[in-house]
Structure 1
Amino acid sequence: LEIIFIALGWGLGYLGQPHIITKFMGIKNVKDMPKAKWVGISWQALALGGATLLGIIGIYIFPNGLQNPELISLDLVKTTMLPFFSALILCAILAATTNVMAAQILVVASSLGEDFYKGLFKKNATHRQTLIASRLSVIFVAVIAYVIAYFKISTIYKLVLYAWSGLGSSFGPLLLISLYYRKVNKLSAFMGILTGGITAGIWPLINTKLAIDVPPMIPGFILSSIAIYLFSLVKEKPLKEKRIKT
């Protein structure tokens, strides 16, 4: 049961990750969607399969365990390879980490600049003002990340799972339901995002009182879906569709 929870906790989250969804949103021609689908699935299979294999190999090479299991890839490289090849692989890991970090920061900066600053606080903001707000957002997010890393507030795994669950619970149900349920409106979309985000945010406090560890994604996804359906029953105009030119 725990394995199923872990699989659902991570698997459902893919539907609501902005840095993944935006890649598909950037596709200009709908005919390229099937190709993008298979590329995405193939890459995830390789990445997740490789991570699993890495853990299995680590158990064999380090039977006594590691002081910090999150550094298994680095310890494996240092232990099994010559310094030259070790340096190359470590540089590749650093490059991949930097790439993901940059993508995440850009998504957050764009969201804070366009959606919050321009969308909520100053709707007539110029391009320069929005750009400045986005750049300040980058600094703000970087400072928060530095504080979390410096004080070691939590493990990388727990932080990633927490953020993954929050995003997945907020946007995943809305994205999925909007594809198959035409009655989704602004109110139901907003309440679904709010319900999923709040549930994932407070679930770790509730989870400590349960007999089994349930990832925040599962209750967040379920409650968000229920909220979207219930509030879609309120008579409002459904969300407009944007067709992609073929």
Structure 2
Amino acid sequence: MDKSLLASILTFAAYFVVMVGIGLWVYKRTVSLSDFVLGGRRLNSWVAGLSANASDFSGWLLLGLPGAIYLSGLGEAWIAVGLALGFAGSWILIAGRLRVYTERATDARSGGESDSLTLSSYLENRFSDRTGLLRGVSAVLILAFYLFYVASGLVGMGGLFEQVFGMSPAIAIIAGVSIVVFYTFLGGFLAVSYTDVVQAVMMWIALLVVPIVAVVAVVSDTESEVDGLGSVLGGFEGGGVFDLGAFLAPVAIISGLAWGFGYLGQPHILARFMGIRSVKDVPRAGVVSVAWAVSAMALAVVMGFSGVAFFGFDTGLDDPEQVFTELIQALMNPWVAGLLLAAILAAVMSTADSQLLVASSALTEDGYRAFLKRDASAMSLVWVSRGAVIAVAVAAAGIALSGNQSVMDLVGYAWAGFGAGFGPVILLSLYWKRMTWTGALAGMVGGGATAVIWDILDEKVLGTGLYAMVPAVAVSVAGIFIFNGLGKATDAMAEDFDRVDAEYREAKQPVGA
């Protein structure tokens, strides 16, 4: 057997053993739906911060972004700028308040503190919606968009296995999703969060090591095919012709920055805010998380340009999204390469497991428990959630196997859907006391529908090239304000708002103040 293949097999196997071991370790600690869905709300700052990163930055970070930079130049880096701003904003504007509100809002159905475990249940309780519409519609949006999001990770996983092992994408997708389902099935939120910490460290180290080695290799190679540093600033057209306009084009800037708004509405990231131990842990978790995110995205951009410098414009790569794996295999010792390739697998799996968990929670908490059996026992709900993990995984794998969409395309579609469908609603729900359920419903439906329709409309009719997030967020915000007056903000909702605001402000005070 080829030495590099043997090294990859053994390192991947060791990685799988660690992930499953963590799942087995927390299995007996998962005794209720709260444990399975939010880990009993006991994540410390480091786990919450790094888990938020790993659950967010999927194969997009190690495959999609470097590939986009390799193919199109620095114009694609506006996405990274927008994401950095959005990530910091979500920790500052949403994390603390959402942590308090999801626990303290009055239960819309039974009274008393709700301890909302999902985004859908939070919205129902926040707006005292007894119709079930907010909960049902939001759960449907979560399931629909997560099928595409999880599928994007499986596409990335298939490409990695094909590149490393020569395995067919179909077999790779089935094998990879089986491992993810297994440890998520066992340990739920805690298993996902602890494995995320390991995966976040692996991803960051890989992003640091590979570009450095690539740059050293290029500098020491006098026959390098680099065509000049000027091309770094724009798009790469026909063999590296410099195009500054691709970097400064208004549509590229607006579309790239708009990605940042998506952070306000991603359920798998918001779940980390809901599961953190205390509001007092939020500032440190935010610093850890944002520092990791900014440095990792900067390194991913460098990775893309390292690929341009090393492989050149003319020879190029058949699949730009494999630039990271190509660099690893071209530059590294087989055993080191195996470890670094496992980091790419970690990036894919760390997001897929979080998304599977949130989607299964929507089926269990917002479907089965909310509408079918409210008095279900704690352990029966855990087992229903485990079954839902399998169901969502199978459906997502079907999408991944049915087409050849790129990782970037699938992520962009789901990201816009969540960002526009939930972002404005969540943000305003935390700061606007008089917001009502009708405004929230209009914002979700308008934003989510526009995210779906825009790409088709723009491709067939308008031709602007504008990312769907921009018009979808505009429609969502407009819908909230236009339809808000059709509902009523009750006195109980106002009391909840004031109580949450007071608790949040008190928790932010320094000890002894």
Query: What is the TM-score when the length of structure 1 is the normalising length?
Result: 0.90
The question of whether the paired residues in 1 share the 8 Å contact of 2:439 and 2:487 is answered with no
Q: How far apart, in 2, do the equivalents of 1:191 and 1:222 lie?
A: 12
Please state if 1:5 is matched with 2:251: no
Q: How far apart, in 1, do the equivalents of 2:369 and 2:324 lie?
A: 42
The question of whether the paired residues in 1 share the 8 Å contact of 2:364 and 2:381 is answered with yes
Please state if 1:44 is matched with 2:293: yes
Question: Partner residue of 1:221?
Answer: 473
Identical pairs, percent:
37
Q: How far apart, in 2, do the equivalents of 1:30 and 1:133 lie?
A: 30
Please state if 1:20 is matched with 2:272: no
Q: Which runs of 5+ in 2 are unaligned?
A: 1-249, 508-513
* Residues 175-216 of structure 1: CA deviation (Å, up to 9, x unaligned): 222233222111111221111111111111111022321111
Please state if 1:211 is matched with 2:460: no
1:102 offset after TM fit, Å? 0.7
- Residue number among 56, 59, 81 corresponding to 2:332 in the alignment: 81
Which shifted more, 41-50 or 213-222? 41-50
Q: How far apart, in 2, do the equivalents of 1:20 and 1:152 lie?
A: 27
The residue type equivalent to 2:467 in the other structure is P
Q: How far apart, in 2, do the equivalents of 1:207 and 1:199 lie?
A: 11
Which shifted more, 117-126 or 54-63? 117-126
Please state if 1:90 is matched with 2:341: yes
1:72 offset after TM fit, Å? 1.5
Please state if 1:104 is matched with 2:355: yes
1:28 offset after TM fit, Å? 3.4
The question of whether the paired residues in 1 share the 8 Å contact of 2:424 and 2:476 is answered with yes
The question of whether the paired residues in 1 share the 8 Å contact of 2:447 and 2:473 is answered with yes
Q: How far apart, in 2, do the equivalents of 1:48 and 1:3 lie?
A: 18
Q: Which runs of 5+ in 1 are unaligned?
A: none
The question of whether the paired residues in 2 share the 8 Å contact of 1:191 and 1:227 is answered with yes
Query: What is the TM-score when the length of structure 2 is the normalising length?
Result: 0.45
Q: How far apart, in 1, do the equivalents of 2:452 and 2:341 lie?
A: 34
1:4 offset after TM fit, Å? 1.4
Please state if 1:56 is matched with 2:305: yes
The residue type equivalent to 2:474 in the other structure is I
Question: Partner residue of 2:453?
Answer: 202
Which shifted more, 140-149 or 159-168? 140-149
Q: Aligned to 2:443, what secondary structure does the other structure show?
A: helix
Question: Partner residue of 2:385?
Answer: 134
Q: Aligned to 1:233, what secondary structure does the other structure show?
A: helix
How many residue pairs match? The answer is: 246
Which shifted more, 79-88 or 43-52? 43-52
The residue type equivalent to 1:188 in the other structure is G
The question of whether the paired residues in 2 share the 8 Å contact of 1:200 and 1:216 is answered with yes
Q: How far apart, in 1, do the equivalents of 2:395 and 2:301 lie?
A: 30
CA RMSD of aligned residues (A): 2.0
1:221 offset after TM fit, Å? 0.9
